[in-house]
Structure 1
Amino acid sequence: MPESTIAEKLIKLRYMHNLEREEFAEQLNFHWDTVEGWELHNIMPKPQNIKKLCEFYNVSLEFFHIYYKIYFDNPEEKIKAWKEKNNYTYEDLMDMLGVSHSAVARLMNGKIKIGL
């Protein structure tokens, strides 16, 4: 079975455990139509739901996409450490990242997470 999309990977994971959509949803305390949206309508699961799936079925975050590994690996903290190590200002980061001053400030204060 191909698995190039999150939906295809979810279906594969469900099939690997011989579960119907409703059973799969019930095991994880999701509503069946949530899972249906992910599988049939390519609605992207929230990162926290992907993490829950990975923990429950003992699969790596990378199974779904490298983005999820990065998301849960505190990239904001690494950017802060990199900023401090190199004595960069917010203006330096604005130029390097191509974002506004307020976006840099929210990133440094943990108000936003990095998205890909």
Structure 2
Amino acid sequence: MPRELVVLSPTAPDARVLVEAGAAVDPDLGLRTLHDGAVHQVVRVDPADPSQGAGVVSIMQPLRVDNVAEVRRLLPTLTALPSWLGAGQPVWWVEAVAPWGDLGRTGIAVVQEMAARLGGVCVVQDGE
């Protein structure tokens, strides 16, 4: 079972911010899209075959959340709520999954970097 992550952000992420976050963590990371663009996957590119790569994190399309109470219900461990949450502006919910081990640790770092660039927060569901 993969590790689950959630990003809350006042700004909807796009592929550009994901690529920039990946490059900041590891310049050997690349991006591919899956399921007709529904999922972006950050991969560690194989130098011998750049068309191949091991996935470090898969990021689903962002969802706009209009009910802040629902965020609090679904993420009860998020005790330090950002000031923009509930301030009347959109909140974007982004789900991601990362494998366990070194690849997953890299994936978590990418998602945390993406959240920081968006002014958001990242919650790693397993608490690590």
Normalising by the residue count of structure 2, what TM-score does the alignment of the two structures yield?
A: 0.26
Query: Going by fraction, where is helix more abundant, 1 or 2?
Result: 1
Bigger fraction of residues in strand = 2
Which structure is larger by alpha-carbon Rg, 1 or 2? Answer: 1
